[in-house]
Amino acid sequence: MEGVQTVKQRFGIIGDDAKLNRAIEKAIQVAPTDISVLVTGESGVGKESIPRIIHSLSHRKHKKYIAVNCGAIPEGTIDSELFGHEKGAFTGATQTRSGYFEEADGGTIFLDEVGELPLPTQVRLLRVLENGEFLKVGSSNTQKTDVRIVAATNVRLFEAIQDGKFREDLYYRLSTVDIGLPPLRDRKGDIHLLFRKFASDFAMKYKMPTVRLDDEAIQLLLNYRWSGNIRQLRNVAEQISVLEQNRAITGPKLRNYLPDTGSRLPAIIDKEKKSDFSNEREILYKVLFDMKSDLNDLKKLTLELMKSGNTADVREENESLIKKIYDDDNEDTYESVEDVMDVLQIPEKSTPTPPTAVEIKDDPYHFAEEIEEEETLSLHDKELELIKKSLERHKGKRKAAAEELGISERTLYRKIKQFDL
Ligand SMILES: Nc1ncnc2c1ncn2[C@@H]1O[C@H](COP(=O)(O)OP(=O)(O)OP(=O)(O)O)[C@@H](O)[C@H]1O
């Protein structure tokens, strides 16, 4: 039997927390059996690695492993996705199609977000679990399949059972063995380790030096509540790796990337609040918006220089703009405003005046209008725009889009429904 450390290495699992190790150990122990396993834990704790371990260490490893995100499939099509359908079963069913349970015969199916399954689908699933039997949608011919099921949930299934949204008998069938993964805030010893790993991965990906945290930043990292768990930590490491010029990260710098930190208060878990990604995104939008605004200012300046060819006129007319672009209290700015004024021979004045709203409005340059338009966009609009763009770019493939956006497929699915896309 493979050891916990070997498995961690093989599956790229970082951390040495006792609860994490116990979860991996349990996965290794149950792998050779056909026992159904329920993986529990908050969103982003790394539940997906457990079914992969179980499948790879089982006698089913040469057969298919299919991971299904139950929360990402619309209710109307989930039965057909899982169990297939007969030709003519519903409008658009132009030919017979096999479902995941048929495809994965001999292998393993991972049902992520199993608590999201509609009740009629739960009945079908129970039947497969009990005797391996299922019916294609629109068919009365019983079929057989031999599939090992590993399910995962980040909702409290007991509450769903009490609310009549999840069948109790199905819960017991699924959770013959329960493997719980701890939230990141309870794995303090692993937090900095994970950050360093992600920072080094992103440094390689973006071909930049690795960011490093000072002591204050490390403390902040350890005391943060991480409601989005490892996924959120990874996103923060990526944002910092991409956006920070100075690779030595101080506490105050890091704080900008941690929404609602409440400084070092102990973790407060809000059951209703699923994640902090909207706040996180807000910060990112702000940084991106500032960068875009600077870029537009520079475009304007360059165009004016090209059009007029007279640097003296341009520098006089755009004094406030030049100051706005270069007068930054950020120590990472490449040039100080004094250097630029020197180059352009503009005398220093005490208080730079940023362009007023009227100035921007009256500006004949289209990119200035762009700035004004951008400023009026709400977070909601920007989120919608990003989701649309990402879906377009990935030709409607939700998995790829969710990956790019740094959210789970289920969250993306909810957003698609929310924005009526
Ligand atoms: N121990 C770990 N070491 C390295 N990366 C990890 C670890 N655990 C999780 N990750 C990474 O964190 C991200 C989230 O993990 P995963 O998708 O498995 O979470 P989850 O619990 O299934 O979340 P959800 O319930 O939202 O689907 C992934 O990018 C995964 O690779």
Q: Which ligand 1 atom is nearest residue 46's CA?
A: 18
Residue nearest to atom 8 of ligand 1 (CA): 46
Residue to probe by mutation, ligand 1, list 4, 8, 43, 45, most atoms within 8 Å of CB: 45
Query: How far is ligand 1, taken at its centre, from the CA of residue 107, in Å?
Result: 23
How far apart, in Å, are the Cα atoms of 246 and each of 60, 208, 215, 332, 338? 49, 11, 16, 6, 21
Query: How far is ligand 1, taken at its centre, from the CA of residue 43, in Å?
Result: 8
Strand partners, 152: 39
Residue nearest to atom 9 of ligand 1 (CA): 46
User: What residues contact 400, with CB distance under 8 A and at least 6 apart?
Assistant: 394
Query: How far is ligand 1, taken at its centre, from the CA of residue 131, in Å?
Result: 32
For ligand 1, is residue 187 a contact (CB within 6 Å)?
no
The DSSP bridge pattern shows strands 133-135 and 142-144 to be antiparallel
For ligand 1, is residue 408 a contact (CB within 6 Å)?
yes
Question: Could you list the pLDDT tens digit for every one of the 421 residues in the chain?
Answer: 679 999 999 999 999 999 999 999 999 999 999 999 999 999 999 999 999 999 999 999 999 999 999 999 998 899 999 999 999 888 888 899 999 999 999 999 999 999 999 999 999 999 999 999 999 999 999 999 999 999 999 867 888 899 999 999 999 999 999 999 999 999 999 999 999 999 999 999 999 999 999 999 999 999 999 999 999 999 999 999 999 989 999 999 999 999 864 434 333 333 343 444 445 555 565 566 567 667 777 777 777 777 777 777 777 777 766 766 665 444 444 445 555 555 555 444 444 444 333 333 333 333 322 333 334 345 677 778 788 888 888 878 788 888 878 787 877 887 887 777 7
Q: What pTM does this model have?
A: 0.65
Q: Is 57 helix (H, G, I), strand (E, B) or coil?
A: coil
Q: Is 212 helix (H, G, I), strand (E, B) or coil?
A: strand
**Rounded distance, CA 139 to CA 233, Å?**
47
In order of their start, the domains of the chain are 4-182 (3.40.50.300), 185-275 (1.10.8.60), 287-358 (no CATH), 379-418 (1.10.10)
Residue nearest to atom 26 of ligand 1 (CA): 43
For ligand 1, is residue 46 a contact (CB within 6 Å)?
yes
Residue nearest to atom 30 of ligand 1 (CA): 46
**Structural contact between residues 301 and 340, judged by C-beta atoms closer than 8 angstroms:** no
8-state DSSP, 270: -
Q: Which ligand 1 atom is nearest residue 190's CA?
A: 1
For ligand 1, is residue 185 a contact (CB within 6 Å)?
no
For ligand 1, is residue 41 a contact (CB within 6 Å)?
yes
**ipTM of the modeled complex:** 0.96
**Rounded distance, CA 69 to CA 55, Å?**
17
For ligand 1, is residue 234 a contact (CB within 6 Å)?
yes
